[in-house]
Amino acid sequence: MRSSLDGRRARRVAAALALPLALTLSALPALAEPSPSPGEVVPDRQSTTAQNGVALMRIVVPDQADVDRLNAMGVDLAEYKKPLDNGIEVHAVLSPEEAQSLRDQGFDVQGAISDQTDYAENQVERSQAMRSAAAATAETDTLTPLRAEWFTSLDDQRFLSVEVKSSATDAQTVLTVTWDSGPGTAPDSGGTAAMSRFTDAGQYMYHRFNSPLSVTQAPTTVTVTSNRGGSVTIPVTKWLGAARKAPGKHYVADFVDHYMDPTEVTDRISSLAREFPKISEIVDLPYKTNGYRRAAQAQFGTVAASTFYVSSKAYGHEGGNDISVALTKPEAASSALGVTVTGKDVVVALATDASGAVTSTARQVVDALNGDAAASALLAAGTYRGNAGTGQVAAAPATRLTDNLKAPATVSREPFQMKALRVGKRRDGSKAGVFLYCQEHAREWVTPLTCVETAERLLRNYARDADTRKLVDDLDIFIVPTVNPDGAHYSFYDYNMQRRNMTNHCAVNLADPAARNSWGVDLNRNFSVGSIFDGYSGASTSCTSDTFAGPSELSEPEAKNEVWLTEKYPNIKFAMNTHSYGGYFMWPPGAYKAAGRELLPRVDYGTESFFWSASSHILSAVQTWRGTAIWPGRTGPVPDVLYSAAGNSADEHWYNKGIIGWDFEVGADVYNPETKRFQAVGFQPAFTEGHEEAMEFSAGQIAILEVARAFSSDKNAPKSELKVTAQTAGSTSFTFTIDEPANVYYTLDGSRPTLSSPKLTAAGMREGAQQITIDATTEVHWFAADIAGNIEKNYKPDGNGKNYNKARVVVGDAR
C-alpha cells in the first residue's frame, strides 16, 4: 500500500484532467451526488465515494497492467473483474485510509458496494430472520398455487412457468417443483427444480422460477413441496397459442426498414393522413415541446475551486453558438479585473498583483461577467457545481460557446409540434376510442416503429381486408408514435442512452456542460396519479436522476398533451403505452408507497379478470409473428411483475378517466438453445432484431383494437353460479363462478343487492376469487355485471325488480 505510481502514469492522469471539454464529455459516468466538493473537477454522473469503515469498493483502471499493479501492491482484490468501455472494473476491500491512498496515487476508486452500515443491517436482518424461521418451523406451511403453465417460444422450444405462495414467508422456506413428461408418465419423470423467493419492497410475494424452465415435453401436472412440509399438486395449462384467424390472403404488413427519428416518424404519419383522408386525419396536440435546442456553453478550469462555466442567454442556433470568451493575462502588474465585449466576443482581462501574477478567482470572474451589462446580455456565468470558486483561474484563448447538438439541419431546433394520427371511418366521438402511444422514453427506438407499423397496417389494409375494415369502421383510433420527440432526437444524435426529455430544470449548481446528459424529465413519472409528490415510490425529485419526475405534476408539455387528448376525446376507453425492453404486458395499478407496500387501489375483480382474459388474446397475437411468448411471470399489474413507477401515464388515464390501459415492454428476452439461457436484447438492438420486435408487437396492438371492438359491441349479459367450496361443522365457505369477466354484487342479510352492495374480490395477488365464509345458514342474493355494463338477467339494481339470483347456503345440520 505504500507503493507510488511511476512518473509515466502520473503524467497520464494529469493529461486526462487537462483534456478539452469537448473530448471528455461523451464518456462521463453518471452523476449521483449533486453537491460539489473541493479538489479536481468530478466527471458528471459519478458514483459517491463515501464509505463507513472497511468497505467493498469499485476501482476502475485503464487496463490489465493496472490490475496486476494493484495485485502486486497487496490490495485485497475480490474475485471480480468486468470489462468497461473505458477500462476494467475490479472490486477491493479497503479501509477509508486505504481508499484515499489509492486515490492519491491516481487510481479511480469509486463508490462502495457495501460497507459497515450494510454489515450492521445484515446482522439485524439475520437475527430477525432466524427468529422468524424458528417460529415458522413449528408448523407445516400451506401452499397456494397461483399459476402453472407451459408455453412455446420462438423455435417451438417448450418452457414451464410455476408460481406458488407459501404461508411461511421467511427466507428459510424452500420450495421444490417436480413435473411429469406428459399424460400417463411418472410424476417426477420430467425433472426437478428449486423455486426462487420473490420479494418486493421488503415483502414476500410468492415463489417462482427466475426464468421459465426449458422442458422437452409439455407436463400435465407439477408437484410443489416445501421444506416446511407443505405440498400441492397442480394441473399445468397451456399459456398463449390460442387459435387466431389468419389474415386474409391480401393482407399486407412490414412497412418499416430502419430506425426512425421523431422528425421522420411525424412526417410519416402526416403523409399517411394525406394519402388516406377519408379514414384518417392529423390532430395537432396543443402543447409544443421545448424543442431540440440548448444554450451554448463553455467551461474553463480543471480543478473545482478554479473552474467556472458560461451559458448563452440565446439558444445555440439563435446566436449562442457565435459567442466566444477569452481569458487574458495583462502584461502590466497590479492590473484590475476587467471585461470588454466586441460584438459577441467577450474578453476577460484577469487581475494581477505587484509581481504580475494572476490573482483573479473563479468567483471573481463569474461576478465580473454577470455584473457587466454587455456581457450579461449575452451570457450567464457560474462556478462549478456551487463551489465557492476561491481558486485562481488561468489565461485561456478565445473559446467559442457551443450547444454541442449533433443532429443534422433536417432536425428543427424549434419547439416541436406533436401530432396524433386519428384513424376511423366515423371520427365524431360516436365510436369507442383507443389511444396507442409510443416512445415516452427517448432511448426506446423500437417503440415508434411499432406505432408506425400499426398505422400503416390499418390504413393500407382497409380496402383489402374485411377484419381491418371492421376495426376502422367501428373504432376511433388515436396513434401518437413519439411522445418524447426532443429526447428521442437527442438519443439519436447526441447521447443514445437519453431516457428523458431535454428540458433542463436544474439550478445553476448543476447546469454546467458536463451535466448535460443528466438533464430532463422522465415523462412516465410526470403524471398526477400516484406521483412522488403524493409519496409514491419509483421516481426522483433530483433533476439529474433518470427518473426525475419534474418540478411538479404535469409540468411537461408532452405529458399535458396526453391528458389533453383523453379530455378532448372522452370516447377514449382503451389505451396502450408501448415501452422497451424485457417483454412485459402490464396494467394498473402501477405504483405503491414503499412503507408497507401501500398500493394504489387495485382494479376490481371483474376488471382484473378482463385484463387477464384480454392478455391471452393480445399476447397470442404477438406470438403469431415469430413465436415469441411473453412469460406469465411478466404479465400482470405493474408492481406485481416489475416495480413501482410513481406518476406513470397508465395510472393517470385509469384513475382519472376510467380508461382501460396496458403497458407493453417490447423486446422479450431471446432464448439461446446452446447456452440454455435467456439473453436480453436492450433498448437499441441491431435493426434485424428491432424490426422483428416492431412486427410482433404491432400485431399485439392490432389485437388490442380487436379487444376494444369486442367490448364496444358486447351486448351479452354474464351468467353466474354460487359454488360451495368447503364445509365444517360450524362454517361453510363459498364463492361465485362467472362465464365471463364480471363483478358479482351480493348481500347476506336478505336484502336486495345493488351496485352499492359488497362486491366479490380477489383472494389475493394473482389468486382467484375470494372465498366467503359464514357461520350460520344464510340466504345469499346476488347478480353479476360485466365491465361493458351488461347485467345478469337484465336485472335493474336501482329499480324494484326481484329477478336477482338467490341461494340458501347451509351451515352444519341446518335444513
pLDDT of 705-736, one tens digit each? 999 999 999 999 999 999 999 999 899 999 99
Residue 2 has pLDDT above 90, yes or no: no
- Model pLDDT, residue 201: 82
> Edge-to-edge, what's the strand order for the sheet holding 419-423?
280-284, 419-423, 475-480, 432-438, 572-582, 660-668, 584-587, 635-637
- Model pLDDT, residue 12: 32
Torsion of CA 594, 595, 596, 601, to 10 degrees: -60
Whole-structure pTM value: 0.80
- Model pLDDT, residue 557: 98
- Model pLDDT, residue 71: 82
Residue 14 has pLDDT above 60, yes or no: no
Q: Please write the tens of the pLDDT for every residue from 65-90.
A: 898 889 888 888 887 888 888 899 89
Return d(Cα 687, Cα 677) in angstroms, integer: 22
Residue 663: phi and psi, rounded to 5, are -125, 125
Confidence class for position 556, pLDDT limits 50, 70, 90:
very high
Owner of C-alpha cell 377514449: 572
Peptide bond into 589 cis (omega under 30): yes
Q: What percent of the chain has pLDDT over 90?
A: 77
Residues 6+ apart with CB under 8 A from 85: 27
- Model pLDDT, residue 450: 97
Stretch 480-487: mean pLDDT: 98
Please report how many Cα atoms fall inside a 13 Å half-sphere around the Cα of residue 29, on the Cβ side: 14
Return d(Cα 518, Cα 28) in angstroms, integer: 10
Average pLDDT score over the chain? 89
- Model pLDDT, residue 137: 56
Residue 9 has pLDDT above 70, yes or no: no
Owner of C-alpha cell 476508486: 109
Residue 484: phi and psi, rounded to 5, are -120, 70
Our CA angle for 707, 713, 717, nearest 5°, is 100
Q: Please write the tens of the pLDDT for every residue from 423-441.
A: 999 999 999 999 999 999 9
Structural contact between residues 228 and 166, judged by C-beta atoms closer than 8 angstroms: yes
Beta-bridge partners for 162:
148
Q: Please write the tens of the pLDDT for every residue from 171-180.
A: 888 899 999 9
- Model pLDDT, residue 813: 65
Structural contact between residues 172 and 136, judged by C-beta atoms closer than 8 angstroms: yes
- Model pLDDT, residue 135: 62
Q: Give Cα separations from 579 to 64, 436, 485, 667 (angstroms).
A: 38, 11, 14, 9
Which residue type occupies 464?
R
Residue 14: phi and psi, rounded to 5, are -60, -40
Q: Is 593 exposed, middle or buried (0-12, 13-18, 19+ CB in 10 A)?
A: middle
761: its cell numbers: 374480490
Our CA angle for 448, 453, 456, nearest 5°, is 130
- Model pLDDT, residue 64: 85
Q: Please write the tens of the pLDDT for every residue from 108-137.
A: 999 888 888 877 777 776 667 556 656 655
- Model pLDDT, residue 218: 94
Three-state SS sequence of 452-505:
HHHHHHHHHCCCCCHHHHHHHHHEEEEEECCCCHHHHHHHHHCCCCCCCCCCCC
Residue 780: phi and psi, rounded to 5, are -105, 130
Confidence class for position 210, pLDDT limits 50, 70, 90:
confident
Identify which of 670, 700, 581 has the alpha carbon closest to the alpha carbon of residue 212.
Answer: 670
Q: What percent of the chain has pLDDT over 70?
A: 92
What distance, in Å, lies between the first and last C-alpha atoms of the chain? 87
- Model pLDDT, residue 378: 98
- Model pLDDT, residue 7: 38
Owner of C-alpha cell 492522469: 13
Residue 50 has pLDDT above 80, yes or no: no
Q: Please write the tens of the pLDDT for every residue from 231-243.
A: 999 999 999 977 7
Owner of C-alpha cell 424458528: 134
Stretch 324-343: mean pLDDT: 96
Residue 782 has pLDDT above 80, yes or no: yes
Confidence class for position 739, pLDDT limits 50, 70, 90:
very high
Which residue type occupies 330?
P
Q: Please write the tens of the pLDDT for every residue from 659-681.
A: 999 999 999 999 988 888 888 89
